[in-house]
Amino acid sequence: MDKFLWGSATSAYQCEGGWLEGNKGLSNWDDFCHSEKNNVNPVTGDVACDHYHRYEEDIRLLSEGGQNAYRFSICWTRILANSQSTVNQEGIAYYNRILDTCEKYGVEPLVTLYHYDMPVDLFKNGGWENRETVTAFIRYAKVCFENFGGRVKYWATINEPNYETYCCYGRGNYPPNVRDLSRRWKAMYHLLLASAGAIVEYRKLNYEGTIGLVSDSYSIESLVDNEQYREAMHNADLFYNRCVNDVAVYGEFPADFIEKLALDYDLSYMKKEDEEIFKKGTVDYLGINAYDRTLVKPYTSGETCMIANNTGDGVTKNSTIIKNWFELDEDPNTQKNAWGCELYPKSVYNLLLDLKDKYPNTPIIITENGLGYYDELVDGKVNDQYRIEFLNGFIDWIRQAQKEGCDVRGYFVWSTMDLYSWINGYKKRYGLVYIDYENDNKRIPKASYYWYKKKIEEELKNDE
Ligand code: BG6
């Protein structure tokens, strides 16, 4: 890892579209979005922002915006349409075209293997709750390494084992829409095992490159400093951060985390023979998705519940109780976006110092950071000053953390262009480039796109 990566990120289901093209198989998200049942904002990723056809324009714009890196994910069902299929050469050719385009524009690709979308037959067979999905994922990862390993230097196995399982099995707003933490922990265990298994395979193949996992991580904070609050913070750190990061970096779960889980759940799916895979499959770097902090208070009463604001209506409130662990608190004095995300850039500094403490020898890449907003196109322009302020704050705090010894190797804005925001639909926008969905998905760079270009130039100059 040499040059600092300045880029932006997308994921396949959120931007590609082309859902029935190129011999692609159907995924869990195709299935979910086509069923009205649990789809709060009833839209699909069938077309999304048509990156499947317009990737060249998107990568060219990214490069013209001064960025030197593009993080994207491979759609599993373009490579293997379902768990039984042979390799789909059209899918391989598509991602080779994307990599050719990155090369043409001097952009370093950072490739995520799994960003929430899996073959629907695996999903219907239990998805990550089923150990067979681990084997299927490792097979798929190997196909990707063998086909693209010579040209991809930065790999990420899995995107957000915490947040994905939190939504799928905690909040219940992502498929399979379950609210049962015992199923969450099982699915997360298998995701982490799949990641470690894929890393072991990658190393066997001896490519020149680096491989990590992408973890949404949070600076855990509280408004009160006393013993009970500190205990709640410790529990929240285990619940959101260390259950993933300790395994990725050290190859083992924190002992007190396992003790806590064992009080309530059957953990017989954790097999002795997996320990060696976890130990061998540790990461070269940790990808960190950083959006906001987690404000914690002690658990008082009530059943576990995780209510999410997916409407951005300014009325629905996020609220979380994890029985016997902690509750989430709210600071009435901080600014929030319509979905309740705090605009608090210093959180990344606090988080990075904490990561340096816990994992001093592991380089960090900030693989996502961004602000969701109802952007408006006025006279052909989007003047997203709020986003500029937010991102600028994050970058400055990251630079400060670097000065204090944090080993940060890259920064990616979420997202390269507007895209499908999962259960939040299309109106919640994060892009540096506006997509005019009403007008042939026209690409219109926002004020933040031009600001980011200048910011990168300045930062590169400072580094000289
Ligand atoms: C991250 C995901 O959790 O946050 C992205 O990796 C996602 O896929 C992003 O889009 C923003 O979250 P949301 O739910 O607002 O789209």
Q: Which one of 306, 365, 414, 429 would you pick to mutate in the ligand 1 pocket, going by the greatest count of ligand atoms within 8 A of its CB?
A: 414
The residue nearest atom 8 of ligand 1, judged by CA position, is 11
Q: Given 160, 164, 221, 327, which residue is catalytic? A: 160
Q: Is the CB of 148 under 6 A from ligand 1?
A: no
| Residue 62 Cα distances to 94, 156, 360, 392, 445, angstroms | 19, 20, 32, 18, 10
Residue 116 CA: which ligand 1 atom is closest? 8
The class level of CATH for 5-219+234-291+344-463 reads: alpha beta
- Is the CB of residue 174 below 6 angstroms from any atom belonging to ligand 1? no
Atom of ligand 1 minimally distant from the CA of 291: 4
Q: What ligand 1 atom has the least distance to the C-alpha of 160?
A: 6
- Each residue's pLDDT tens digit in the chain (464 positions)? 578 999 999 999 999 999 999 999 999 999 999 997 888 888 999 999 999 999 999 999 999 999 999 999 999 999 999 999 999 999 999 999 999 999 999 999 999 999 999 999 999 999 999 999 999 999 999 999 999 999 999 999 999 999 999 999 999 999 999 999 999 999 999 999 999 999 999 999 999 999 999 999 999 999 999 999 999 999 999 999 999 999 999 999 999 999 999 999 999 999 999 999 999 999 999 999 999 999 999 999 999 999 888 878 777 777 899 999 999 999 999 999 999 899 999 999 999 999 999 999 999 999 999 999 999 999 999 999 999 999 999 999 999 999 999 999 999 999 999 999 999 999 999 999 999 999 999 999 999 999 999 999 999 998 88
For ligand 1, say whether the CB of 368 is within 6 Å of any of its atoms. Answer: yes
**DSSP 3-state of 435:** strand
Ligand 1 pocket, 173 CB below 6 A?
no
289 Cβ inside 6 Å of ligand 1:
yes
Residue 209, ligand 1, Cβ within 6 A? no
Atom 10 of ligand 1 has which residue's CA nearest to it?
A: 421
Q: Is 342 a catalytic residue?
A: no
Helices 346-358 and 385-403: crossing angle, nearest 10°? Answer: 30
How far is the centre of ligand 1, averaged over its atoms, from the C-alpha of 207 (Å)?
Answer: 30
Long-range contact list for 81-88, CB < 8 A, 24+ apart? Answer: 81/23, 81/24, 81/25, 81/119, 82/25, 82/119, 82/120, 82/121, 82/122, 83/119, 83/121, 83/122, 83/125, 83/132, 83/136, 84/121, 85/25, 87/143, 87/147, 88/22, 88/23, 88/24
Which residue's alpha carbon is at the smallest distance from atom 12 of ligand 1?
421
| Catalytic residue flag (residue 457) | no
Nearest Cα residue to atom 16 of ligand 1: 421
Can you tell me the distance from the alpha carbon of 292 to that of 301, in angstroms, rounded to the nearest whole number?
26
Distance CA 168, CA 384 (A): 31
Cβ-based neighbours of 161, under 8 Å, separated by 6 or more: 188, 191, 192, 195, 213, 215, 244
Closest CA to 371 of 325, 419, 330, 431: 431
Is 160 close to ligand 1, i.e. is its CB under 6 Å away? yes
